[in-house]
Amino acid sequence: MRRLVLGCGTVGSDIIEALTGRTGDLHVITDDSGRVSALRDEHVAALEADPRDPDNYPDHANLVVVAGASATANLTVADRARERFPDAALVAYAGDDATEADLRALRELADRVIDPIGVVADRVLDVATGATAERLRGLVRTLRSVEGTLAVVAHDNPDPDAIASAIALVRIARFAGTDAEACYYGDISHQENRALVNLLDIEMRQLDPDTDPREEFAGFALVDHSRPGVNDSLPEEIDPLVVIDHHPPREPIDAEFLDLRDDVGATSTLLVEYLDRLGVTPDTQVATALLYGIRIDTKDFTREVSEADFDAAASLLSHADASVLDRVESPSFDPAVLNVLARAIGAREQRGSVVASCVGEIADRDALAQAAERLLDMEGVNTTLVYGYRDGVVYASGRTRGTDLDLGETLRDALDQIGSAGGHADMAGAQISLGILGDVGEDSKESLTEIVRDIVAGRFFETLEDAPATPTRSADRAVSFPDEG
């Protein structure tokens, strides 16, 4: 029994390790000199040569494994190995950069193809634990059960959340090794929605309501809605395999995989969670669409917004194309504000209806005011204080709504002794010099943040126990820091 391994990427090394020690001969050909030296040290017969050149092959082989890192090279090697050893069992690793076309071509040549997407998915699911892991396993298991193409259907005349969720689920389906296509009925008629699709070059198929889609698709997934024939033009008798939505259903829903969570503001947020937990980095198209979907469905983070929505949006920032969002619609949030807002949510200290949050070092102090305003939209919160530091100064911005608390006087009582504070009854600000605390090194920034939090939050919450009140409420307006009048 002679086993021949052609090429030696990361997967190839794993295969060689598994084959070493078995009965028969093992022969490896790779152009990686480092790999050859390492294999020889382990007493594996290895030849430094081009695995694409049949002149380097031995006279015979019973099993040939193509195991390089490049999909293009592996396809060439598999073709030449099949010609040289027509009777051998041929196993081919698709390559780290394999496309669907590469996989199809390899399946024509090899007896078995190792799909890197499926391998990675298995490894991720193997190490995942808890309720979220069960949800991930259920989704991937259901996607893999599709024997053909999966139609990922948005609701009729899809909005940005539905569009983004559809293309994100297509990405996840392909990660699981399943062919999928984003689909919709009706029209993408809203000007901003058309701009989003055109600027990002999003491919979505418009289905014909007079044609039965079951003639072409092997399964159906619904995003941003939950029932076939309700808010879409699918036949009502279709049993969807996957349903993902953030709207509460009016009646029980039947699907192989069901994720209905009304504690988030957008279905896009749920798709971001899947991508993150599966270790799939969204490309620019998907990330930008998801970010816009979250913004629109939460009305720029002012309607039915949750911590998960902020976290999802913050995680997308580095992958999204801000220039596209600018062209689709001038956003009210820039990335700096969204980052501060996400940190404010994650670091919040809440006592009753009051939230204080230290966001650490900031780039733009104006972001504090917007974050303080947005935190008021959280359920059960009527007073907020968001603070951070830059250039040796702590800046704080506060908001209150629906109470008789005079926030300006409260901040003066709490912080005037160590800095300057003041403002209006429903919005106020403060500045505090860090003094010697501002001289801490880069490695001590976490400690500095803790010190700032202890000082500001401690004084603020203590003052609230006997806070001054005002009988009237003033209208919302931009924050005024003490030095700004």
pLDDT band at 128 (very low <50, low <70, confident <90, very high): low
Boundary-marking domain end, from 86, 114, 142: 114
**Higher-confidence residue: 483 or 293?**
293
Question: Which SS3 state, helix, strand or coil, does residue 63 take?
Answer: strand
91 neighbors 109 (Cβ within 8 angstroms)? no
Distances (CA, A) of 343 to 148, 282, 419: 43, 22, 24
Average pLDDT over residues 3-13: 85
- Residue 28 and residue 15 in contact, taking contact as beta carbons nearer than 8 Å: no
Query: Over the stretch 261-271, which tens digit does the pLDDT of each residue have?
Result: 988 999 999 99
> Cα separation of 184 and 18, whole Å?
47
Residue 125 lies inside a defined structural domain of this protein: no
Residues 135 and 107 in one domain: no
Q: Are residues 47 and 138 in the same domain?
A: no
What is the Cα–Cα distance from 230 to 128, expressed in whole angstroms? 35
Give how far Cα 482 sits from Cα of 33, 110, 385, 428, 429, Å: 67, 73, 15, 8, 7
pLDDT of residue 123: 52
Residue 52 belongs to a domain with what CATH number? 3.40.50.720
Q: In this predicted structure, what is the pLDDT of residue 101?
A: 79
What are the residues whose beta carbons fall under 8 Å from the beta carbon of 197, sequence distance 6 or more?
Answer: 163, 188, 204
CA–CA–CA angle 271, 312, 377 (5° rounding): 120
With bands split at pLDDT 50, 70 and 90, how would you rate the model's confidence at 55? very high
The DSSP H or E segment spanning 144 is helix 130-144
The pLDDT score that the predictor gives to residue 484 is 36
Q: Which of 298, 328, 358 is the last residue of a domain?
A: 328
Is residue 75 located within the same domain as residue 219?
no
The chain-wide mean pLDDT, for the chain, equals 85
Question: Whole domain around residue 8: which residue ranges?
Answer: 2-114
Say if 24 falls within a structural domain.
yes
Question: Which of 458, 394, 439, 446 lies closest to 420, judged by CA?
Answer: 394
Any domain includes 210: yes
Please tell me whether residues 135 and 273 are part of one structural domain.
yes
- Mean of pLDDT values over 228-255: 88
**Domain containing 204 — which CATH number?**
3.90.1640.10
Within a domain: residue 121? no
pTM: 0.60
221, part of any domain: yes
Q: Indicate if 110 and 134 belong to the same structural domain.
A: no
Question: End of a domain among 328, 359, 377?
Answer: 328
The span from the CA of 93 to the CA of 65, in Å, is 8
Give yes or no: residues 316 and 374 share one domain. Answer: no
- Does 120 have pLDDT greater than 80? no
Query: Which pLDDT tens digit goes with each residue over 88-116?
Result: 999 998 887 777 778 888 889 998 888 76
Residues 6+ apart with CB under 8 A from 426: 399, 400, 401, 407, 473, 474, 476
Angle at 103 between CA 97 and CA 104, to 5 degrees: 145
**pLDDT average, residue stretch 175-184:** 91
**3-class DSSP state for residue 472?**
coil
CATH number of the domain at 451, please.
Answer: 3.10.310.30
In a domain, 333, yes or no: no
Together in a domain, 154 and 299: yes
> Each residue of 38-49: pLDDT tens digit?
889 888 899 999
253: pLDDT confidence band, cut at 50, 70 and 90?
confident
Specify the number of domains making up the chain.
Answer: 3
Tokens in use for 206?
């418009």
Tens digit of each residue's pLDDT (9 = 90 or more) over 153-167: 999 889 999 999 999
For residue range 412-422, list pLDDT tens digits in order. Answer: 899 988 888 87
Q: Hey, what amino acid is at 411?
A: L
Please state, in angstroms and rounded to a whole number, the distance separating the CA atoms of residues 309 and 317. 13
Q: What percent of the chain has pLDDT over 90?
A: 45
Q: What percent of the chain has pLDDT over 70?
A: 88
Is 313 in the same domain as 352?
Answer: no
428 and 475 housed in the same domain: yes
Residue 8 pLDDT > 60: yes
Question: Is residue 261 situated within a structural domain?
Answer: yes
Question: pLDDT category, 279, cuts 50, 70, 90?
Answer: confident
Residue 388 and residue 475 in one domain: yes
Q: Which segment of 110-119, 185-194, 341-350, 475-484 scores lowest on mean pLDDT? A: 475-484
Q: Is the pLDDT of residue 119 over 60?
A: no
In a domain, residue 294? The reply is yes
374 in the same domain as 302: no
C-alpha atoms less than 13 angstroms from C-alpha of 195 in its C-beta half-sphere: 12
Confidence of residue 122 (pLDDT cuts 50, 70, 90): low
Residue 45, strand partner residues: 27
Residues 106, 250 share a domain: no
